[in-house]
Amino acid sequence: MKRTRPGKGPGQFAWFCLIGALCSGCGQAPSVIESPTSGGVQGEVIQVRHLGNSGPGTLRAALAAPSPRLMIFEVGGVIDLRDEDLEIKTPHLTVAGETAPEPGITLIRGGIRVRSHEVEITHLRIRPGDVGPGGNGIWMPDGISVEGPAGHHVRVGHCSLTWAVDENRSATGPETGPTAHDVLFHDNLIAEGLRASTHPKGQQSMGSLIHDHVAKVVLARNLFAHNSGCNPRFKQDVTGLALNNVVHNPGAEAISVGSPQATGDADTVAEPASVAVIGNVLTPGPDSPPKLVLVKGSGHLHLDGNLHQRGDGTRGRIREGSFKRAGDADISTPVFFAPQR
């Protein structure tokens, strides 16, 4: 049984036909990236008036409202989530952090889990940190995670995501069945993932992980800085685009692309990732290994206009691994599709 990606069936329109353009030999990055959603801008305006963790007038209460909503902030400052992530479970939501007065909105001791669709999150600072619950000592929050199958048609932009224990940012879902799709991450700072913290695997420090089978993910104009890995990482059967990002001082790896792995289901056919990496810049730093490359791994890959600039002014290597040009892949439908209406 061959796995079908969400949103890949008939009746869809091209968001921008990236793979189609590559197959025709164009090889050019799209000049405009359309948002996959308009969020809740046409909904009820809800004001966040308090910096408390819960109760009327708080961010948590506003996120729990069931109707389409545009959230604006009447206060600015730090919201302590007290080790309990915020969850978005209802659709048609815009969180407009840019409306907060100085110094803006900072979330600490927790992150945001997006488990719905038609969601926009902009202009927030998220600092989960490692001051989590006691007991077994396991505390591994993301900064922002988009979680399928309910999490799709999501935009996260102009946010500062640092000091997460797991990933600063991720798109994920179940290993089988529908998962996250149609996600745009743009103009964010993804930095300083915690390395020796409370993660059960030990050493961590990860920027952005796009999990198995997640479809139609765009990462554009982000700054990845001082993360050991996942700057970003695309796992198996992912379709994605990394466009005009800067990766500074990565550790073990910059951008990585995954290949098929055993699924445990003999009837399931896992596919390699299909990724375009266009116009990105890598600048190694003191934590970077001497043989660092911009992209490593295997799968279907298109490269265009990338730069690896070493500190001594010389150019470094762009790729390493076993890749097949994405334009040569057997892909009969566009990868990116129009937002839902």
Q: Give the DSSP per-residue string, 47-113.
A: EE---SSSSTTSHHHHHT--S-EEEEES--EEEE-TT--EEE-SSSEEEEGGGSPTT-EEEES--EE
82, β-bridge pairs: none
Whether residue 78 has pLDDT greater than 90: yes
Phi, psi of 61 (to 5 degrees): -65, -40
- Provide the pLDDT confidence category of residue 196 given band limits of 50, 70 and 90: low
Q: What is the average pLDDT across 153-165?
A: 93
Tell me, what's the pLDDT at 33?
A: 78
Tell me, what's the pLDDT at 203?
A: 58
Residue type present at position 205? S
Q: What is the average pLDDT across 218-231?
A: 92
Q: How many whole angstroms separate alpha carbon 197 and alpha carbon 138?
A: 9
Q: Would you state the structure tokens that stand for residue 123, as one six-digit string?
A: 């202009």
Q: How many whole angstroms separate alpha carbon 205 and alpha carbon 191?
A: 9
In a domain, 168, yes or no: yes
Q: Do the beta carbons of residue 298 and residue 257 sit within 8 Å? A: yes
Q: What is the average pLDDT across 39-58?
A: 97
In a domain, 55, yes or no: no
Whether residue 145 has pLDDT greater than 80: yes
Q: How many whole angstroms separate alpha carbon 307 and alpha carbon 198?
A: 35
Q: Would you state the structure tokens that stand for residue 63, as one six-digit string?
A: 């996120």
Whether residue 44 has pLDDT greater than 90: yes
Whether residue 25 has pLDDT greater than 60: no
- Total length of the chain: 341
Tell me, what's the pLDDT at 141?
A: 74
Q: Would you state the structure tokens that stand for residue 185, as one six-digit string?
A: 């991450």
Tell me, what's the pLDDT at 137?
A: 57
In a domain, 124, yes or no: yes
In a domain, 261, yes or no: yes
In a domain, 22, yes or no: yes
* Mean pLDDT for the chain overall: 82
Task: Write out pLDDT tens, residues 307-319.
Answer: 999 999 999 999 9
Q: Do the beta carbons of residue 120 and residue 40 sit within 8 Å? A: yes
Tell me, what's the pLDDT at 32?
A: 63
- Of 37-41, 84-88, 171-175, 243-247, which gets the smallest average pLDDT? 171-175
Q: How many whole angstroms separate alpha carbon 341 and alpha carbon 146?
A: 20
In a domain, 82, yes or no: no
Q: What is the average pLDDT across 281-299?
A: 94
Q: How many whole angstroms separate alpha carbon 129 and alpha carbon 236?
A: 29
Check residues 140 and 56 and name the one with the higher pLDDT.
56
Q: Do the beta carbons of residue 128 and residue 94 sit within 8 Å? A: no
Residue 277 maps to which CATH number? 2.160.20
Tell me, what's the pLDDT at 174?
A: 86
Domain that holds residue 321: 18-43+89-328
Whether residue 124 has pLDDT greater than 60: yes
Q: Do the beta carbons of residue 165 and residue 197 sit within 8 Å? A: yes
Q: Among residues 156, 136, 137, 138, which one has the least CA distance to residue 146?
A: 156
In a domain, 256, yes or no: yes
- Provide the pLDDT confidence category of residue 332 given band limits of 50, 70 and 90: very low
Q: Would you state the structure tokens that stand for residue 116, as one six-digit string?
A: 């719905």
What's the predicted TM-score (pTM) here? 0.84
Whether residue 267 has pLDDT greater than 50: no
- Of 19-28, 237-246, 252-261, which gets the smallest average pLDDT? 19-28
Tell me, what's the pLDDT at 140?
A: 65
Helices (H) then strands (E): counts for the chain: 2, 27
Q: Report the number of distinct structural domains present in the chain.
A: 1
- The number of C-alpha atoms within 13 Å of 134 and in the hemisphere containing its C-beta is 0
Could you write out the DSSP letters of every residue in 116-173?
SEEEEEES-EEE--S----TT------SEEEETTT-EEEEEES-EEE--SSEEEEEE-
In a domain, 60, yes or no: no
